[in-house]
Amino acid sequence: MNISEAVVNGSSASDSALSEAVAVLKAGGVIAYPTESCFGLGCDPMNRQAVARILAIKKRAVTQGVILIASDVDQVNVYANLASAPLLESILASWPGPNTWLLAKRDAVPDWLSGEHTTIAMRVTAHQTSRQLCKSYGAAIVSTSANRHGRPALTDIDALRSEMGSELDYILDASIGSDPAPSLIRDATTGQQLR
């Protein structure tokens, strides 16, 4: 695939830009898109080759696992056994929002998503464009920060194009959120904050 970009003025992406991003995801591509605090890299979580591409771009080990974002709880339930979470009430109260939870993963969740963990990291995002992207796609998507492992996350579209543009299939150009830090990561059993 050749990279294409949707340049959108304002905070949210146009319907046509979202449609193109969804088409790239469905075709097995890798996209960049805005999240709460930075640009993220995304793909179809069940496409092993696409996830492997993202990990190669980031220079990130598969053992670490990746975060998935969703537009609603139903999309989370495909990957996680949400009902069994001891802190279910707290989890639901934190969504939509910049709160990622480590949830008991379903048996069908592949190791390329969870890494060496028995949990899957998920959140229902409150970011308008990201949430609409998941809704239009009809499923949760991979959401890992757009950066090489150990480097700061990219918050500027020009820096993203310069550093990673040639390795991506699509850039959904809309405004990132105003959160100054990445989402919190908490254990859904203990409530312990891990990031």
pLDDT value for 5: 40
In a domain, residue 195? The reply is: no
CA distance 3 to 167: 8
Which amino acid, residue 131? R
Asked whether residue 82 is assigned to any structural domain, the reply reads yes
Instruction: Report if residue 38 sits inside a domain.
Output: yes
How far is the C-alpha of 146 from the C-alpha of 140, rounded, in Å? 18
Closest CA relative to residue 33, chosen from 157, 119, 126, 120: 157
Look at residue 180 in the predicted model and tell me its pLDDT: 72
> Which residues, other chains included, contact 184 with Cβ-Cβ below 8 Å and sequence gap of 6+?
98, 99, 100, 193, 195
Q: Which has the closest alpha carbon to 129: 21, 41, 34?
A: 34
41 part of a folded domain? yes
Q: Which tens digits make up the pLDDT trace of 128-167?
A: 999 999 999 999 999 999 999 889 999 999 999 999 999 9
194 is a domain residue: no
Number of domains present in the structure of the chain = 1
Taking only the tens place, the pLDDT of each residue in 74-114 is 999 999 989 889 999 999 999 999 999 999 999 999 999 99
Q: Is residue 192 part of a domain?
A: no
CATH of the domain at 158: 3.90.870.10
In a domain, 137, yes or no: yes
Asked if residue 69 is part of any domain, the answer here is yes
pTM greater than the 0.85 cutoff: yes
Per-chain mean pLDDT for the chain: 91
Task: Tell me which residue range forms the domain holding 54.
Answer: 4-187
